[in-house]
Amino acid sequence: MLSGQIALVTGASRGIGAAVALELGKQGATVIGTATTASGAEQISVALQQGGVKGEGVALDVNNAAQVEEVLKAIGEKHGTVSILVNNAGITRDTLLMRMSEDDWDAVMSTNLKSVFRLSQAVLRPMMKARQGRIISISSVVGHMGNAGQANYAAAKAGMSGFTKSLAREVGSRGITVNCVAPGFIDTDMTRALSEDQRNGLVQLVPVGRFGDVQDIAAAVAFLASPAAGYITGETLHVNGGMYMA
């Protein structure tokens, strides 16, 4: 379904990004997954290979503009131009606003939101030329509901939605769609950082009665990346077991 496509997935070393990378690969795309370290990149290469997927892992810090440029150039030369971008890299620095440092704010804004601006801009030109493309950003239910202790994270994730709608308007006529997938609580390192009590409390909020699996998100991303989703743009697809219904 995605054969001939070249997908770039940021933060593909673990969690949601790793599952997305494999899924896009299984659908036929060549996948470039990024991690912040060389050893993480190597692991991605191995995981892709074991999954029978074409592609490789590369080291990329999304906060490093020069590196973004370099990596995209290298991908272009080695694999061709990126036709599917998945902005997945993200971090949390949770604390109540009363105690939030400017550094907590900046780090989350930069890694989660500015990276989306940076990467999207970097892939846009070839997509415009090709008259096709998919930009999919992993936001969060928290960007829509708010969450105590996550003012920085929620602001960044809500910002993705505004960015996505605007860019969707700009490039719709060029066959490029721009969407978000907003996960609820998914079982990954990010949520394993919560205490057992917190996790049990959270499950009570989910009608489906469980934390989501990374595969639940990967399937949604693969759908939006597919030709079947060509008429969906500027949209946020919520994948949260019913904990929030937009």
Ligand X SMILES: NC(=O)c1ccc[n+]([C@@H]2O[C@H](COP(=O)([O-])OP(=O)(O)OC[C@H]3O[C@@H](n4cnc5c(N)ncnc54)[C@H](OP(=O)(O)O)[C@@H]3O)[C@@H](O)[C@H]2O)c1
Q: Using CB under 8 A as the criterion, which residues of the chain lie in contact with another protein when the complex forms?
A: 125, 128, 170-171, 173-174
Contact region for ligand X (CB under 6 A) — 57-65, 94-102, 116-124, 161-169?
Answer: 57-65
Residue 118 CA: distances (Å) to CA of 10, 210, 237: 12, 35, 22
**Using only C-alpha atoms, what is the Rg of the chain?**
17
At closest approach, how far in Å is the CB of 91 from another protein?
A: 33
Tokens 């969450």 locate to 147
3-state secondary structure 60-89: CCCCCHHHHHHHHHHHHHHCCCCCEEEECC
CA distance 234 to 168: 5
Question: Residue 86 pairs with which residues in a beta bridge?
Answer: 9, 136
Is 12 annotated in a binding site? The answer is yes
Is 186 annotated in a binding site? The answer is yes
String marking each residue 100-119 x if it binds ligand X according to CB under 6 A: -----------x--------
Is 120 near ligand X (CB under 6 A)?
no
At closest approach, how far in Å is the CB of 69 from another protein?
A: 15
Is 133 near ligand X (CB under 6 A)?
no
Is 185 near ligand X (CB under 6 A)?
yes
CA distance 171 to 47: 34
CA distance 154 to 9: 22
Is 62 near ligand X (CB under 6 A)?
yes
By beta-carbon proximity to ligand X, the closer residue of 170 and 189 is: 189
Our answer to whether residue 244 is catalytic in this structure is no
* Residue 218 binding: pick among another protein, ligand X, none (C-beta 5-8 Å cut-off by kind): none
* Residues of span 12-31 touching ligand X by CB under 6 A: 12-17
By beta-carbon proximity to another protein, the closer residue of 1 and 128 is: 128
- Exactly one of 153, 163, 185, 211 is catalytic; name it: 153
Is 229 annotated in a binding site? The answer is no
Is 88 annotated in a binding site? The answer is yes
> Applying CB under 6 A, which of residues 26, 45, 51, 61 lies at the interface with ligand X?
61
* Residue 21 binding: pick among ligand X, another protein, none (C-beta 5-8 Å cut-off by kind): none
Assigned token pair, 41? 């990149």
Is 156 annotated in a binding site? The answer is yes
Which residues participate in the annotated binding site? 11-14, 36, 88, 153-157, 186
Interaction site with ligand X (CB under 6 A)? 10-17, 34-37, 40, 60-63, 88-91, 111, 138, 140, 183, 185-186, 188-191
**Mind telling me the catalytic residues?**
153
